[in-house]
Protein backbone atom coordinates (compact mmCIF):
# COMPACT_ATOMS: atom_id res chain seq x y z
CA UNK A 1 0.00 0.00 0.00
CA UNK A 2 2.86 2.41 0.80
CA UNK A 3 4.41 1.89 -2.62
CA UNK A 4 1.11 2.63 -4.38
CA UNK A 5 0.45 5.67 -2.16
CA UNK A 6 3.94 6.99 -2.80
CA UNK A 7 3.61 6.46 -6.55
CA UNK A 8 0.29 8.33 -6.64
CA UNK A 9 1.66 11.15 -4.44
CA UNK A 10 4.76 11.50 -6.62
CA UNK A 11 2.60 11.58 -9.78
CA UNK A 12 0.51 14.36 -8.23
CA UNK A 13 3.66 16.28 -7.26
CA UNK A 14 4.99 15.98 -10.81
CA UNK A 15 1.91 17.91 -11.95
CA UNK A 16 1.48 20.12 -8.87
CA UNK A 17 4.76 20.34 -6.89
CA UNK A 18 3.15 22.18 -3.98
CA UNK A 19 0.15 19.89 -3.45
CA UNK A 20 -0.10 19.69 0.33
CA UNK A 21 -2.03 16.40 0.39
CA UNK A 22 0.62 14.65 -1.70
CA UNK A 23 3.44 16.15 0.39
CA UNK A 24 1.70 15.05 3.58
CA UNK A 25 1.15 11.53 2.21
CA UNK A 26 4.86 11.17 1.50
CA UNK A 27 5.59 12.54 4.98
CA UNK A 28 3.34 9.85 6.45
CA UNK A 29 5.18 7.15 4.52
CA UNK A 30 8.52 8.35 5.87
CA UNK A 31 7.07 8.44 9.40
CA UNK A 32 5.87 4.83 9.07
CA UNK A 33 9.35 3.63 8.11
CA UNK A 34 11.00 5.68 10.88
CA UNK A 35 12.61 8.24 8.59
CA UNK A 36 11.64 11.06 10.92
CA UNK A 37 13.77 13.83 9.42
CA UNK A 38 12.29 13.18 5.98
CA UNK A 39 8.78 12.95 7.41
CA UNK A 40 9.23 16.30 9.13
CA UNK A 41 10.59 17.85 5.94
CA UNK A 42 7.54 16.76 3.93
CA UNK A 43 5.08 17.87 6.63
CA UNK A 44 6.79 21.26 6.78
CA UNK A 45 6.65 21.56 2.99
CA UNK A 46 2.94 20.71 3.07
CA UNK A 47 2.27 23.37 5.71
CA UNK A 48 4.38 25.91 3.82
CA UNK A 49 2.40 25.11 0.69
CA UNK A 50 -0.95 25.33 2.49
CA UNK A 51 -0.82 26.93 5.96
CA UNK A 52 -4.39 25.72 6.52
CA UNK A 53 -3.39 22.05 6.11
CA UNK A 54 -4.73 20.75 9.40
CA UNK A 55 -3.72 17.14 8.74
CA UNK A 56 -0.05 17.95 8.15
CA UNK A 57 -0.01 20.19 11.22
CA UNK A 58 -1.46 17.39 13.35
CA UNK A 59 1.04 14.86 11.99
CA UNK A 60 4.00 17.20 12.46
CA UNK A 61 2.88 18.09 15.98
CA UNK A 62 2.46 14.39 16.82
CA UNK A 63 5.97 13.69 15.57
CA UNK A 64 7.40 16.58 17.57
CA UNK A 65 5.50 15.43 20.66
CA UNK A 66 6.79 11.87 20.24
CA UNK A 67 10.34 13.24 20.09
CA UNK A 68 9.78 15.30 23.24
CA UNK A 69 9.48 18.73 21.59
CA UNK A 70 6.26 19.78 23.33
CA UNK A 71 6.80 23.51 22.81
CA UNK A 72 7.41 22.99 19.09
CA UNK A 73 4.27 20.85 18.81
CA UNK A 74 2.27 23.47 20.66
CA UNK A 75 3.57 26.22 18.36
CA UNK A 76 2.63 24.23 15.21
CA UNK A 77 -0.87 23.55 16.55
CA UNK A 78 -1.55 27.17 17.48
CA UNK A 79 -0.32 28.35 14.09
CA UNK A 80 -2.65 25.86 12.38
CA UNK A 81 -5.49 27.06 14.61
CA UNK A 82 -5.10 30.59 13.21
CA UNK A 83 -6.07 29.14 9.81
CA UNK A 84 -8.72 26.72 11.11
CA UNK A 85 -10.19 28.20 14.32
CA UNK A 86 -13.08 25.75 14.45
CA UNK A 87 -11.11 22.55 13.74
CA UNK A 88 -12.03 20.14 16.55
CA UNK A 89 -8.94 17.95 16.18
CA UNK A 90 -6.66 20.96 16.58
CA UNK A 91 -8.43 21.89 19.82
CA UNK A 92 -8.16 18.27 21.03
CA UNK A 93 -4.45 18.13 20.20
CA UNK A 94 -3.81 21.49 21.88
CA UNK A 95 -5.64 20.30 25.00
CA UNK A 96 -3.54 17.12 25.06
CA UNK A 97 -0.18 18.82 24.55
CA UNK A 98 -0.90 21.59 27.04
CA UNK A 99 -1.89 18.98 29.65
CA UNK A 100 1.50 17.36 29.08
CA UNK A 101 3.12 20.77 29.53
CA UNK A 102 1.19 21.43 32.76
CA UNK A 103 -0.75 24.36 31.27
CA UNK A 104 -4.13 23.35 32.63
CA UNK A 105 -5.91 26.64 31.90
CA UNK A 106 -5.13 26.43 28.18
CA UNK A 107 -5.90 22.70 28.17
CA UNK A 108 -9.27 23.35 29.79
CA UNK A 109 -10.12 26.11 27.30
CA UNK A 110 -9.42 23.89 24.28
CA UNK A 111 -10.98 20.77 25.81
CA UNK A 112 -14.19 22.75 26.28
CA UNK A 113 -14.16 23.84 22.65
CA UNK A 114 -13.42 20.27 21.53
CA UNK A 115 -16.28 18.95 23.69
CA UNK A 116 -18.71 21.16 21.76
CA UNK A 117 -17.90 19.08 18.65
CA UNK A 118 -17.49 15.72 20.33
CA UNK A 119 -19.41 15.73 23.64
CA UNK A 120 -18.55 12.16 24.61
CA UNK A 121 -14.79 12.32 24.10
CA UNK A 122 -14.60 15.95 25.13
CA UNK A 123 -16.51 15.19 28.32
CA UNK A 124 -14.04 12.45 29.23
CA UNK A 125 -11.15 14.82 28.52
CA UNK A 126 -12.71 17.51 30.73
CA UNK A 127 -13.32 15.01 33.54
CA UNK A 128 -9.70 13.87 33.44
CA UNK A 129 -8.52 17.45 33.28
CA UNK A 130 -10.57 18.37 36.35
CA UNK A 131 -8.66 15.69 38.28
CA UNK A 132 -5.39 17.31 37.23
CA UNK A 133 -6.56 20.75 38.27
CA UNK A 134 -7.93 19.51 41.62
CA UNK A 135 -4.43 18.69 42.78
CA UNK A 136 -2.27 20.79 40.51
CA UNK A 137 1.02 20.37 42.39
CA UNK A 138 0.79 16.58 42.34
CA UNK A 139 -0.32 16.63 38.71
CA UNK A 140 2.66 18.74 37.70
CA UNK A 141 5.09 16.35 39.39
CA UNK A 142 3.43 13.35 37.71
CA UNK A 143 3.60 15.06 34.31
CA UNK A 144 7.24 16.00 34.87
CA UNK A 145 8.10 12.40 35.76
CA UNK A 146 6.19 11.09 32.74
CA UNK A 147 7.87 13.56 30.41
CA UNK A 148 11.29 12.62 31.75
CA UNK A 149 10.63 8.89 31.30
CA UNK A 150 9.15 9.45 27.83
CA UNK A 151 12.19 11.51 26.80
CA UNK A 152 14.49 8.76 28.03
CA UNK A 153 12.58 6.10 26.08
CA UNK A 154 12.49 8.05 22.81
CA UNK A 155 16.00 9.46 23.07
CA UNK A 156 14.53 12.94 22.82
CA UNK A 157 17.73 14.40 24.10
CA UNK A 158 19.48 13.04 21.00
CA UNK A 159 16.99 14.34 18.40
CA UNK A 160 18.21 16.35 15.46
The alpha carbon of residue 120 and the mean position of all alpha carbons in its chain are separated, in whole angstroms, by 21
Within a domain: residue 117? yes
Q: How far apart are CA 13 and CA 65, in angstroms?
A: 28
Within a domain: residue 63? no
Q: How many domains does the chain have?
A: 2
Does 88 share its domain with 128? Answer: yes
Q: How far apart are CA 120 and CA 149, in angstroms?
A: 30
3-state secondary structure at position 19 = coil
Does 35 share its domain with 79? Answer: no
Question: Model confidence over 50-64: pLDDT tens digits?
Answer: 998 999 999 999 999
Residues 6+ apart with CB under 8 A from 23: 9, 13, 42, 43, 45, 46, 49, 56
Q: How far apart are CA 136 and CA 16, in angstroms?
A: 50
- pTM for this structure? 0.74
Does 42 share its domain with 90? Answer: no
Within a domain: residue 2? yes
Distance between first and last Cα of the chain? 29
Q: How far apart are CA 144 and CA 138, in angstroms?
A: 10
Does 157 share its domain with 102? Answer: yes
Does 46 share its domain with 124? Answer: no
Does 134 share its domain with 79? Answer: yes
3-state secondary structure at position 16 = coil
Is the predicted pLDDT of residue 146 greater than 60, yes or no? Answer: no
Share of the chain above pLDDT 70, in %: 74
3-state secondary structure at position 159 = coil
Within a domain: residue 153? yes
Residue span of the structural domain in which 22 resides: 1-50
Within a domain: residue 149? yes
Does 80 share its domain with 36? Answer: no
Within a domain: residue 151? yes
> How much is the pLDDT for 158?
44
Which of these, 107, 101, 104, lies nearest to 146 by C-alpha position? 101
Residue 24 phi, psi dihedral angles, 5° rounding? -65, -40
Confidence class of residue 72 from pLDDT cuts 50, 70 and 90? very high
Within a domain: residue 65? no
Does 38 share its domain with 84? Answer: no
Does 41 share its domain with 79? Answer: no
Mean pLDDT of 29-33: 87
Burial code (b: 16+ CB inside 10 Å, e: under 16) for 65-102 equals bebbbbebbbebbbebbeebeebbbbbbbbbbbbbbbb
Within a domain: residue 56? no
Amino acid sequence: MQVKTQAVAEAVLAEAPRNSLALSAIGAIHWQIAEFAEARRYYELAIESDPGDETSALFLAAQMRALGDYEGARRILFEALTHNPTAPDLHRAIAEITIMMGDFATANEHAKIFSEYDPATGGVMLARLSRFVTNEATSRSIIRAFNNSEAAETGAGERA
